[in-house]
Amino acid sequence: MLIALVGMISYSWSSKTPETSTALVEQEAVAQQSDDYPLIENHETERQQDALRQPNLPVTIDGKAYAEQLVSLEGKSLFSEFDQFWAQCEQTNNCKVQLSQLESELPKEWFELLSNYPALYSEWKTMESTIPLDSVDNLEARVALFKQSAQQIWGELAHQLFSDQFAHLDFTLSAKAVNSIEANEFTLHYQKLLSQWQSKAEALNVETKAQQYELAMSLLPSNFSPTELASIKAELQEIYLNESQASNIVAREQQVAKQQQTVATYHEQFAQLKSSLDVLRSTSHRDWSTQEWDTYYQQQVSGFRETFFK
pLDDT for 90-110, tens place per residue? 999 999 999 999 999 999 999
pLDDT at 236: 95
Checking 19-22 for CB contacts under 8 A at 24+ apart, the result is: 20/258, 20/259, 20/262, 21/309, 22/305, 22/309
pLDDT at 115: 97
In this prediction, residues 61-90 reach a mean pLDDT of 93
Confidence of residue 137 (pLDDT cuts 50, 70, 90): confident
SS (HEC) of 137-204: CCHHHHHHHHHHHHHHHHHHHHHHHCHHHHHHHHHHHHHHHHHHCCHHHHHHHHHHHHHHCHHHHHHH
pLDDT at 249: 85
CA Rg value for the chain:
27
pLDDT at 44: 52
The SS3 assignment for 253 reads: helix
19 has a pLDDT exceeding 60: no
Q: Where are the domains of the chain?
A: 60-157, 255-309
pLDDT at 264: 96
pLDDT at 101: 92
Q: Which of 57-61, 245-249, 252-256, 302-306 holds the top average pLDDT?
A: 302-306
Contact (CB, 8 A) for 197 and 173? no
Of the candidates 79, 294, 246, the one whose C-alpha atom is nearest the C-alpha of residue 165 is 79
| Cα–Cα dist 277/302, whole Å | 13
216-239 tens-digit pLDDT? 999 999 899 999 999 999 999 999
pLDDT at 298: 96
Number of other CB atoms surrounding residue 108 within 10 Å: 8
C-alpha separations of 274 from 55, 56, 279, 301 in Å:
63, 65, 9, 9
pLDDT at 89: 93
Q: Which residue has the higher pLDDT, 15 or 51?
A: 51
In this prediction, residues 258-269 reach a mean pLDDT of 95
145 has a pLDDT exceeding 50: yes
Least confident of 30-39, 197-206, 239-248, 275-284: 30-39
- CA 218-221-225 angle, to 5 degrees, is 120
146-176 tens-digit pLDDT? 999 999 999 999 999 999 999 999 999 999 8
